[in-house]
Chain A
Amino acid sequence: MPRQRQTLPNFAAFFDLAKSKVLAVQEFTLLGLRAFRNVFGRPRYLADTLIQMDVIGVGSLPIIVLTGFFTGAVLALQTSKTLQTFGEVTLTGQVVALSLVRELGPVLTALMVAGRNASGMASEIGSMLVSEQIDAMRALGTDPSKKLVTPRLVATVSMLPLLTIISDFVGVTGGFMVSFFIIRMDPVQYWTTAYQSLHFEDVFQGMIKPFIFGYIVAMVGCYFGLTTRGGTQGVGRSTTQAVVAASVLILTTDFFITKLLLALLG
């Protein structure tokens, strides 16, 4: 029966693929746990952590400011247009502030940092791996998860919330520019509605997300770097995969966090 002979190997291939995916998730989780545990252990690589904070925090600042500003600006343009049909243009500040603080600020900042730094981590660690620098590190008595992964994790998790605050603020300012210069709204009204609309749960929701997204960016970047296969070509592949995986994970996690927080906080 030729038909059966065809299906069997396909099934086996599918099973192998599923097994390798499950193993990858397991490896990813273990790496994450180890990196987290290292935060409280010794040795601490403080200098490496500071360098990473500079790379991630200071390095991402220009694109965060740019994307934040224009997101807020375009948001003001679009919402004022929609609100106009209801005769509620005065609510522009509120809509811009709420959307930015709750959703767009954290997500867009995380996506930008994923594009810059998850890829950067994957390619840097990946090329260290294929040139045997990771092996050399272990041979010289250093644990790469402590020296390479944990500093990147600490740096991303601490920098992403700060970048998100900056992005939120710049975004609201962008919205203000549009509503003042283009829509010709009263400036005081924009800032008042923007400010008054923000409640504790909005800020809480918007500030919890970057911590989780920071974890995703760092762990995905390091994981794809450390699992690079196949020389220099493999480094390119890991880099792309890291950005894609981090972005998809950020957006899916965002949905579930939002759902959870809405259920908890109302």
Chain B
Amino acid sequence: MTEARPDQTVLEFEHVYLVLDDKPVLRDVSFRLVRAETKVILGASSSGKSVLLKTALGLFRPDSGRVAVFGRDITGLREEELYPIRQRIGMVFQEGALFDSMTVYGNVAYVFQEDRALPAEEEEERVRRALRFVGLEEAIEKLPSELSGGMRRRVAIARAFVGQPALMLYDSPTAGLDPLTAQSIITLIVKLGDLEDVSGLVVTHRLQDAGVIADYFYDPESEGLLPAHSNGRDYDTKTSVLVLREGQVVFDGARDEMFRARDAYIRRFIG
């Protein structure tokens, strides 16, 4: 799966409508996400951000329109046909959604079941590497209830990318965290995008998250974020922003364009 066309489309929504409980939740949503791109999705609460991510995973089916993942139309697929596609997508649910009857190890190793089973040592190696990446190797035997909110998010990130997905979906990864922890989660998202070249959809209601993702890149040497446009550096962070309002896309484009938009709803996020 390494066809390296630079503009390869990873995820595409075409005129997606979705009604839940007689209420339109997504209305004519269209956008495209290309390889290595990170799209930040902004929107007030209940604007349909979580539902949009779940629709990309095939957890919800559009009532009309089309969703294509890695070039494959998933709209009409049966649940079993979706499993191989979902294996290439990592989803970080709001609050983590860790299985609370399992240890951190059990959670992260969960993908290596059935047809994806690995030899025991290899599985442990992969799990440890993922946990090291999020800085939580020492918590491997703990239960989710013993972890703080930020740690749970980090385990959820490890669980989502341990299967080496090409697309990561993050549902409000910074919601309810203190600013420092939120910053560390965003750093992790940028690091994952830059080091592993995965594409991402990042749902957030914080504009500063979009700012960090758009303006910084991960520097492996200093193990931290560096500004993308300073000291003569011009690093393309491949970031775009999409603004959702009551299930409709009201903006989709570069972040700098968003600052020039006049729409009152968009300005609310900027202001």
Contacts of A131 in B (CB 8 A): 95, 97, 100
Chain A window 137-152, contacts with chain B (Cβ cutoff 8 Å), 1 for yes, 0 for no = 1111111000000000
Tally of A-B Cβ pairs under 8 angstroms: 49
Output the residue of A128, A139, A143 with the most chain B CB within 10 A. A139
CB-CB under 8 A from A140, the residues of chain B are: 86, 110-111, 159
Chain B residue contacts of A138, Cβ below 8 A? 57, 59, 79, 86
0/1 per residue, B86-102, Cβ < 8 Å to A? 11010101110111100
Contact between chains at A139 and B114 (CB < 8 Å) = no
Say whether, besides A131-B97, A135-B97, A141-B87, A43 and B57 are in contact (CB < 8 Å). Answer: no
Number of interface residues of B (CB under 8 A): 23
CA of A132 to CA of B172 in the docked complex: distance in angstroms? Answer: 13
Could you tell me the distance in whole angstroms from the C-beta of A30 to the nearest C-beta in chain B?
Answer: 13
A119 to chain B, nearest CB (A): 18
Please provide the chain B residues from 189 to 242 with a CB less than 8 Å away from any CB of chain A in the complex. Answer: none
Q: Is B265 an interface residue (CB 8 A)?
A: no
What's the Cα separation between A43 and B98 when bound, in Å? 22
> Does B99 contact A139, Cβ atoms closer than 8 Å?
no
Cβ of A136 and Cβ of B91 under 8 Å apart? yes
When each residue 42-56 of chain B gets 1 if its CB lies under 8 Å from chain A and 0 otherwise, what string results?
000000000000100
Q: A133 on the interface (CB 8 Å rule)?
A: yes
A135 touches which one: B79, B83, B93 (CB < 8 A)? B93
Residue of B nearest to A138 (CB): B59
Answer yes or no: B148 CB below 8 A from chain A CBs: no
When distances are taken between beta carbons in the complex, the residues of chain B under 8 Å from A135 are 54, 59, 93, 97
Q: Given A138-B59, A140-B111, A143-B79 in contact, is the A132-B86 Cβ separation under 8 Å?
A: no
The answer to whether B86 and A141 touch across the interface, beta carbons within 8 angstroms, is yes
Verify B100–A133 contact, CB threshold 8 A: yes
Contact B86 A136 (CB under 8 A): no
Complex CA distance for A53 and B205, rounded to whole angstroms: 45
Judging by beta carbons under 8 Å apart, are A139 and B91 in contact? yes
Q: Are B89 and A139 in contact (CB under 8 A)?
A: yes
Considering the chains assembled together, what is the distance between the CA atoms of A132 and B110 in angstroms? 16
Shortest C-beta distance, A121 to chain B (Å), equals 14
Contact with A along B107-132 (1 / 0, CB 8 A): 00011011010000000000000000
Distance, CA A174 to CA B180, complexed state (A): 65
A143 CB contacts on chain B under 8 angstroms: 79-80
Closest to A147 in B: B113
B181 to chain A, nearest CB (A): 20
- Known contacts A133-B99, A133-B100, A135-B54; is-contact A141 B93 (Cβ 8 Å): no
CA of A43 to CA of B113, assembled, Å: 10
A136 to chain B, nearest CB (A): 4
Which chain B residues border A133 with CB–CB below 8 Å?
Answer: 97-100
Question: B138: shortest Cβ distance to chain A, in Å?
Answer: 23
Complex Cα–Cα for A140 and B85 (A): 10
Asked if B93 contacts A142 (CB within 8 A), the reply is no
**Distance in Å: Cβ of B19 to nearest Cβ of chain A:** 15
| B111 & A141 in contact (Cβ 8 Å cutoff) | yes
A159-195 with Cβ < 8 A to chain B:
none
Q: How far, in angstroms, from A184 to B114 measured CA to CA in the complex? A: 62
Smallest beta-carbon distance A83→chain B, Å:
52
Residues A132 and B57 in contact in the complex (CB < 8 Å), given A43-B114, A140-B111: no
| Cβ–Cβ contact A139 & B100, under 8 A | no
The answer to whether A132 touches B79 (Cβ under 8 A) is no
B101 to chain A, nearest CB (A): 9
Residue of B nearest to A136 (CB): B97
Write out the residue numbers on chain B whose beta carbons fall within 8 Å of the beta carbon of A139: 57, 59, 86, 89, 91, 93
A132 CB contacts on chain B under 8 angstroms: 93-95, 97
Given contacts A136-B98, A140-B110, 6 further A-B contacts (CB under 8 A): A132-B93, A133-B98, A133-B99, A138-B86, A139-B93, A141-B113
21 A-B residue pairs with CB within 8 Å:
A43-B113, A131-B95, A131-B97, A132-B93, A132-B97, A133-B97, A133-B100, A135-B93, A137-B99, A139-B59, A139-B86, A139-B93, A140-B110, A141-B83, A141-B86, A141-B87, A141-B111, A141-B114, A142-B110, A142-B113, A143-B80
